[in-house]
């Protein structure tokens, strides 16, 4: 009789999961449909409270599902990586998501302008749309890394235009990936820095850096910054044109809806940036140069549900170490810092700084082996953190 080999069966199940995981990425499309579902229920029951439904689903239901379904540690083999990278199916999932995000935004805009709602209901609709705008930025993030594929770049620009985040591709690819996990990066949060202090630094900082990077590119080519050669202006112009048309067709009520939804979409990216590199710092050599970005310089999260919905954005360690890899082949690492929840759950925790610090500061200290000199610390909190924790450094 053949003996039972648990390692063989575990590997077989892992291979089967990787094979069938391709279909589960379609669940990312469901997020774009959530606002339309809430709008349909609100219209059917004539209850504006339904327009708020995406908010509790995002901050409470999805983190609960993450806990129920656990983590995904399955990594594709080298042979599977080669096959998955050539499969255009995964790109088409992102294209579908791009289209659905615009359908969701315009559908919600139609809902808020063609039925009579209370102001709280309208706010709920805008926040719900904003949450999905944030997911759209995640889709644009994945598409926007494939700069050699013109179709993917165009799709990235389209989905990022939903919430007017036209500077993202330039800033993220040329700025954030260069300076990540250093004090020079406005999109890397520091130990002791609340999400609110971080937002006040990150939002204007990334805008400024994106514009400078694009202006520098244009000047090298002998072109003016304020011209339609400017990729940031192209995307902002598209957003303004769509918002203006919707306002023209459906009235001024749609404008505050669109602006609040855009602002809350920006907040979702700020939340993601906040949790992805909190306190992590790349070492410097004798010449002051920072070491190459490695997997240990990003917080990872392998919770199954949120990883599928966000197309592996949470496998952030591998993404920053290998930014050109497509989402379907990103890998898990045993030795990288791990978040205790998926992104949606950590977004909620980050809203309460005392709770966030209580959960994350000990993890940052463990990562740095107790040496505060190896941590990216908020200068305003540096003295207080050294008094509290001391340093193992000599």
Domain of 336? Answer: 23-389
The whole-chain average pLDDT of the chain stands at 94
The answer to whether residue 13 sits within a structural domain is: no
214-230 per-position pLDDT tens digit: 999 999 999 999 999 99
Tally the C-alpha atoms within 13 A of residue 17's C-alpha that lie toward its C-beta: 14
What average pLDDT does range 340-366 have in this prediction? 98
User: What is the reported pLDDT for 7?
Assistant: 52
The answer to whether residue 146 sits within a structural domain is: yes
Sign of the C-alpha dihedral, residues 265, 267, 270, 271? negative
The answer to whether residue 15 sits within a structural domain is: no
What average pLDDT does range 151-167 have in this prediction? 96
User: What is the reported pLDDT for 334?
Assistant: 86
pTM for the model stands at 0.94
Which pLDDT band holds residue 14 (cuts at 50, 70, 90)?
Answer: confident
Lowest mean pLDDT: which of 144-148, 159-163, 370-374, 382-386?
A: 144-148
User: What is the reported pLDDT for 8?
Assistant: 46
The answer to whether residue 11 sits within a structural domain is: no
Which pLDDT band holds residue 392 (cuts at 50, 70, 90)?
Answer: very low
Please count the structural domains in the chain.
1
Q: Cα dist. 146→28, 157, 169 in Å?
A: 19, 12, 10
The answer to whether residue 166 sits within a structural domain is: yes
The answer to whether residue 193 sits within a structural domain is: yes
Which pLDDT band holds residue 390 (cuts at 50, 70, 90)?
Answer: confident
The tokens for 243 are 């918002």
Answer yes or no: is pLDDT of 104 > 60. yes
Separation CA 281–CA 272 (nearest Å)? 17
67-76 per-position pLDDT tens digit: 999 999 999 9
Answer yes or no: is pLDDT of 394 > 50. no
User: What is the reported pLDDT for 391?
Assistant: 54
Answer yes or no: is pLDDT of 30 > 80. yes
The answer to whether residue 195 sits within a structural domain is: yes
Look at 6 and 45; give whichever has higher pLDDT: 45
The answer to whether residue 342 sits within a structural domain is: yes
């Amino acid at each position: 009789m053949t003996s039972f080999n648990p390692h063989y069966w575990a590997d077989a199940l892992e291979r089967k999961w990787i094979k069938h995981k391709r279909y589960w990425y379609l669940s990312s499309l469901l997020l774009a449909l959530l606002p339309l579902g809430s709008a349909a229920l609100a219209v059917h029951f004539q209850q504006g409270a339904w327009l708020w439904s995406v908010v509790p689903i995002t901050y409470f239901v999805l983190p609960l599902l993450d806990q129920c379904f656990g983590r995904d540690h399955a990594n594709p083999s080298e042979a599977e990586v080669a096959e998955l990278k050539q499969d255009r199916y995964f790109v088409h999932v992102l294209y579908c998501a791009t289209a659905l995000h615009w359908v969701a935004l315009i559908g919600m805009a139609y809902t808020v302008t063609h039925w009579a709602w209370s102001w709280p209901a309208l706010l709920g609709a805008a926040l719900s749309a904003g949450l999905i705008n944030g997911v759209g930025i995640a889709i644009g993030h994945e598409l926007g890394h494939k700069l050699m594929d013109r179709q993917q770049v165009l799709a990235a620009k389209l989905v990022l235009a939903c919430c007017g985040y036209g500077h993202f591709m330039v800033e993220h690819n040329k700025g954030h990936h260069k300076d990540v996990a250093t004090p020079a990066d406005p999109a890397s949060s520091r130990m002791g820095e609340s999400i609110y202090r971080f937002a006040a630094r990150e939002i204007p900082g990334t805008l400024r850096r994106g514009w400078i990077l694009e202006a520098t590119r244009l000047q090298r080519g002998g072109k003016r910054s304020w011209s339609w050669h400017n990729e940031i202006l192209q995307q902002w112009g598209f957003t303004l044109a769509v918002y203006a048309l919707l306002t023209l067709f459906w009235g001024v009520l749609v404008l505050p809806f669109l602006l609040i939804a855009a602002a809350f979409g920006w907040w979702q990216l700020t939340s993601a940036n906040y949790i992805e590199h909190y306190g992590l710092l790349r070492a410097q050599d004798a010449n002051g140069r920072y070491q190459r970005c490695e997997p240990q310089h990003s917080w990872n999260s392998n919770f199954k549900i949120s990883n599928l919905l966000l197309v592996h954005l949470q496998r952030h360690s591998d993404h920053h170490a290998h930014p050109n890899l497509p989402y379907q082949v990103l890998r898990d690492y045993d030795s990288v810092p791990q978040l205790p929840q998926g992104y949606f759950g950590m977004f909620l925790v980050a809203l309460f700084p005392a709770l966030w610090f209580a959960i994350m500061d000990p993890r940052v200290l463990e990562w740095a082996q107790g040496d505060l000199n190896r941590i990216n610390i908020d200068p305003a909190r540096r003295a207080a953190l050294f008094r509290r924790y001391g340093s193992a450094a000599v």
